[in-house]
């Protein structure tokens, strides 16, 4: 990102200090408060092997760090580059560019990260509707594009002279036709409205105490995502944070336990956190030290609470299904004779 002329708030360790409500779990600690987390991060200014890089947060510029990461060492890349908007990021920022300039920027960072992918690797790139036109065209030239995912973004203000922007895109591409896609790991549990029976028995659905459900194959339109908000433990003060549930879908679909997931625009660390929760190795690059320490704070929290909002019993659940998720969790606890009360919190912060 481009450094703004304004005071570098992140490096001075200053954050907007407001007294938070008791249920406000937003992570917004300052550099001074989180120096111990920042000390866990590394800088990469010379070639390194993966043993040194696994499960690390790299502080620095992507274009300086990427050449020092071994080629063909990454199984999955999840990238959330700055959209072509003028936006501040706690002392750093990105300035809107012309279409040609943004295309050149896109090509530049993709040329840095694509060589890092293994031959069977995959990449997902997040974007808004406008940058999607550029990113999609570039990916079609240099990768094998498999799909364009569109997800419903509930948060956001309305527009007076336009339709409200309530959707974002994620481009999904691979290096070759030999790639990982775990369909069974990303199914969505939905209520069966009109249950169909054969010989009196459910067909492709299950009866349970909480209702009738079918685990359905996911489409390329995701309407079950909740944007992180203040009462969710995963929430940070990062202005464009993606939800853990969103990232989990990509990681589960396109990697396996033990694989390496790389995020070249790490932000406040969602990709690394979710990779850790799902048994993958992780690596991320972020130039803002404030976001790096928030990442390390969240990674520490993940050791105590590995749950992901909206992902229970090995499947993703529709929005507004909190009570059913809790019931399922409690039933599993009883069977396993578990007594850890924090397990009851799975999905406890889902938006109604």
Instruction: Average the pLDDT over 326-340 and give the result.
Output: 55
Give 191-199's long-range contacts (Cβ < 8 A, gap of 24+).
191/318
Query: Residues 237-254: what's their mean pLDDT?
Result: 92
In the chain, % of residues over pLDDT 90: 60
Block residue for tokens 């909740």: 226
Mean pLDDT of the chain: 85
**How confident is the model over 286-296, as pLDDT tens digits?**
999 999 999 99
Q: Which fold has domain 2-10+23-180+219-315?
A: Rossmann fold (3.40.50)
Residue ranges per domain, the chain? Answer: 2-10+23-180+219-315
Orientation angle between helical segments 270-277 and 289-304, nearest 10 degrees? 20
**Mean pLDDT over residues 261-279, rounded?**
97
Sheet with strand 87-89: strands edge to edge: 2-3, 92-94, 87-89
Residue 341 pLDDT level (bands cut at 50, 70, 90): very low
- Say which residue the tokens 């700055």 belong to: 82
Report the 3 state secondary structure along the chain.
Answer: CEECCCCCHHHHCCCCCCCCCCCCCCECCCCCCCHHHHCCCECCCCCCCHHHHCCEEEECCHHHHHHHCCCCCEEEEEECCCCCCCEEECCEEECCCCHHHHHHHHHHHHHHHHHHEEEEEEEEEEECHHHHHHHHHHHHHHCEEEEEEEEECCCCCCCCCCCCCCEEEEEEEECCCCCCCCHHHHCEEEECCCCCEECCEECCCEEECCEEEEEECCCCEECCCCCCCCCCCCCECCCCCCCHHHHHHHHHHHCCCCCEEEECCCCCCHHHHHHHHCCCEEEEEECCHHHHHHHHHHHHHHHHCCCECCEECCEEECCCCHHHHHHHHHHHHHHHCCCCHHHHHCCCCCCC
pLDDT at 59 over 70: yes
Cα–Cα distance for residue pair 330/172, rounded to 1 Å: 36
Both tokens of 199, joined, read 């010989």
Question: What is the pTM assigned to this prediction?
Answer: 0.85
Over 90: is that where the pLDDT of 118 sits? Answer: yes
HSE, side-chain direction, 13 A CA sphere, residue 161: 0
Cβ-based neighbours of 146, under 8 Å, separated by 6 or more:
172, 173, 174, 179
State how far Cα 191 lies from the chain centre. Answer: 26
Determine the average pLDDT of the residues in 169-190.
96
Among 67-81, 94-108, 167-181, 188-202, the least confident range? 188-202
- Which tokens in the block code for residue 323? 């009570």
pLDDT of 194: 64
Q: How far is CA 77 from the centre of its chain?
A: 11
| Cα(224)–Cα(202) distance, integer angstroms | 25
Report whether pLDDT(198) > 60.
Answer: yes
Looking at residue 65, its pLDDT comes to: 97
Give the closest residue to 124 by CA, choosing from 222, 250, 221.
250
pLDDT of residue 203: 65
Residue-level pLDDT at 351: 42
**The pLDDT of residue 232 is above 90:** no
Is residue 281's pLDDT more than 70?
yes
Q: Is the model more confident about 57 or about 336?
A: 57
- The answer to which of 74-88, 116-130, 160-174, 196-210 has the lowest mean pLDDT is 196-210
**Poorest-pLDDT segment among 234-238, 246-250, 306-310:** 234-238
Residue 56 clears pLDDT 90, i.e. is over it: yes
């Amino acid at each position: 990102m481009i450094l703004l002329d304004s005071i570098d708030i992140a490096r001075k360790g200053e954050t907007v200090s407001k007294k938070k409500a008791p249920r406000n779990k937003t992570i917004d600690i300052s550099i001074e408060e989180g120096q111990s987390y920042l000390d866990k991060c590394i800088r990469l200014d010379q070639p390194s092997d993966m043993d040194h890089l696994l499960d690390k947060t790299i502080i620095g510029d992507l274009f300086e760090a990427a050449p020092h990461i071994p080629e063909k060492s990454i199984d999955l890349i999840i990238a959330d580059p700055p959209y072509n908007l003028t936006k501040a990021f706690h002392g750093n920022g990105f300035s809107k560019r012309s279409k040609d300039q943004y295309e050149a920027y896109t090509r530049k960072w993709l040329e840095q990260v694509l060589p890092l992918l293994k031959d069977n690797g995959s990449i997902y790139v997040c974007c808004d509707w406008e940058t999607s036109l550029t990113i999609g065209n570039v990916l079609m030239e240099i990768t094998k594009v498999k799909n364009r995912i569109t997800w419903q973004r509930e948060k956001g203000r309305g527009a007076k002279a336009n339709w409200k922007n309530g959707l974002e895109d994620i481009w999904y591409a691979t290096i070759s036709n030999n790639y990982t896609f775990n369909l069974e790991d990303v199914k969505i549990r939905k209520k069966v409205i009109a249950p169909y029976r054969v010989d009196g028995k459910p067909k492709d659905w299950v009866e349970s105490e909480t209702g009738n459900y079918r685990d359905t194959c996911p489409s390329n339109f995701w309407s079950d995502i909740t944007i992180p908000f203040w009462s969710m433990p995963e929430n940070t003060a990062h202005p464009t944070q993606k939800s853990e549930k969103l990232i989990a879908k990509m990681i589960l679909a396109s990697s396996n336990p033990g694989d390496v997931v790389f995020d070249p625009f790490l932000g406040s660390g969602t990709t690394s956190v979710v990779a850790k929760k799902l048994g993958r190795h992780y690596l991320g690059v972020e130039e803002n030290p404030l976001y790096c320490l928030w990442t390390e704070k969240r990674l520490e929290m993940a050791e105590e609470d590995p749950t992901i909002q909206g992902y229970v019993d090995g499947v993703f659940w529709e929005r507004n299904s909190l009570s059913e998720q809790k019931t399922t969790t409690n039933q599993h606890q009883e069977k396993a004779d578990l007594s850890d009360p924090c397990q009851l919190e799975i999905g406890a912060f889902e938006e109604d």
